[in-house]
Amino acid sequence: MSDIHRKIVKRLLAAWLGISLTAGLIVFYVGIERIDDQLVELATAESAKLSGHALPLIDRSAAERHALDVLLRDFVRENFIVVELYDRERRKIAEAVSPRHAAVEDELKRHAHAFPRDDDAHYEKFLIGEQTVLRVLLPMKDAAGAVSGFFEGVFVIDPATLERLRHELIVALAVVLGAVLLTTLAVYPVILALNRDVVRYSHDLLQGNIELMEVLGSAIAKRDSDTNIHNYRVTIYAVRLAEAAGLGRAEMRDLIAGAFLHDVGKIGISDNILLKPARLDEEEFRIMKTHVALGVDILAKSAWLQRARDVVEFHHEKYDGSGYLRGLSGEAIPLAARIFAIVDVFDALTSKRPYKEPMPFSDAMAIVRGYAGNHFDPKLVGIFDGIIAPLFQTISEASDREVEASLRVLIERYLIAGVA
C-alpha cells in the first residue's frame, strides 16, 4: 500500500471510529430511553384497567373498602407483583403483594421514594437478580381531570418483551454503524482522487521550486568563475555528512536548498571584486562579506527559498566566533551551517579553479582537521573524516552527468518523496 493510500485509510478509519462511536452512543441512549418509554406505556396501560374500577372505591370508609382489597389482589395475580393505592392526600389506603415476589418487595423497600411535587407519571427501573423491574407512580384522575388518588405499582418486565426491545436496539445500532461504514467506503475513492490531484499540483510546484533553486545556483556559479557542478558536489557532501550526523528529513530539505543557494548574494557583488584574481584588500573584503546580507534579502522574496536561510546567512561563521556576519560561535551556529562550512571548504580545496589546481585529498583533509575547533565544529569534522574518503573517490571519478544524477536521487528522497 502506497503512502497516500495508507494515510487516507488511517484518517478515514479514525473518522469512521469517531463517527461510529458518537452515533452509536446517541442511538444507544435514544434506544434505552425508547425501551423505558415503551415499558412505562405498557405499565400505564395495565394500571389504567384498574383506575376505572378503583376510583369509586377510594373515597369510601375503611370498612367499605373490602371490594378494593379484592380488586387489588386480583390485579396483582394478573399483572403487577406489588400494588399500592393512595388517596389525594397521598395517604396509603390499600396494598397487595404477590406472595411469589415478596423478595422483590423487600428489596424495593431499600429504595424508598418520595412523592413528586407534580402530578405527572414517574418511574424508576431496577435490576433485581435477573429480573428487570419498573416501579411506576401514576396519578388517578376522574372524568373532570382532577386527581383523586395515586397508583403505585411494581411491574416485572416479561423476559420475552425485554429481549424483543433489546433486539430492536441492536438492529438499530447495526443499521447506523453499517450506514456510517458504507458512507466511509463511498467517500474513500473521492478523497483519493482529490488527494492525488493535490499531490500532483504540489509535486509540480515543488519541481518548479527545485528548478528555480538549480537555475539560481547555476547563475551564481557562473558569475563566480566556477562551474555549476560545484553546487552538486557540495550538496552531496553536505547530505552525506548530515545523514551521518543524524539530521531529520525537514532539516535535510533545508540543508539541500541552502547548499545550492549558499552564495546567492554574490549576484549583488561587482565583477571587479568578485572576479579579482589577486587577494582582496581590506575594503574589498568588507564589500565581499556583504554578499551574506544580500543573500538573506534575496531569499526573503520567496517563502520556499527561506528554507535555505540558515546556510546562506551563517555558513561564514566560525566555531570559535571569529567568522562573519554575526560572530556566532559553537552550537549557536545552526547545525546546517556548521555542516556546510566543512564541505564548502573541502570542495574548494580539492577542486580545480581558473586560478589554481586541485589540492590532493590528503592535504585537503589535513587542513580540515587542522581547523577543527576554530573554524569547524570538531565533532562534525570527526564524522566527516569517517565518511569522506570513499565518497570523494566516487565523486571525483564520476562525470558531471553522474554527479547530477546522484544528487537527483537525494532530492527525490528528501524533497519530492515527502510531498505525498
pLDDT tens for each residue of 327-365: 999 999 999 999 999 999 999 999 887 667 899 999 999
- What is the mean predicted confidence (pLDDT) over 2-28? 71
Burial 349-369 (b: 16+ CB within 10 A, else e): bbbeeeeeeebebeebbeebe
Compare 226 and 415 and report the one with higher pLDDT.
415
pLDDT at 296: 92
pLDDT at 320: 95
Average pLDDT of every residue of the chain: 79
Assign 53 a pLDDT band (cuts: 50, 70, 90).
low
pLDDT tens for each residue of 383-407: 999 999 999 999 999 998 898 889 8
- What is the mean predicted confidence (pLDDT) over 47-71? 63
- What is the mean predicted confidence (pLDDT) over 211-237? 74
- 91-95, 115-119, 286-290: range with highest mean pLDDT: 286-290
CATH 1.10.3210.10 range(s) for the chain read 224-419
Domain 224-419 has CATH 1.10.3210.10: yes
pLDDT at 207: 61
- 71-75, 131-135, 165-169, 237-241: range with highest mean pLDDT: 237-241
CATH class of this structure's domain 3-170:
alpha beta
pTM above 0.75, yes or no: no
- Is residue 243 within 8 Å of 295, Cβ to Cβ? no
Q: What percentage of the chain has pLDDT greater than the value 70?
A: 75
pLDDT at 413: 83
Overall residue count recorded for the chain in this entry = 420
Q: Is the pLDDT of residue 209 over 60?
A: no
pLDDT tens for each residue of 159-169: 776 677 677 77
pLDDT at 230: 83
CATH 3.30.450.20 range(s) for the chain read 3-170
Assign 60 a pLDDT band (cuts: 50, 70, 90).
low
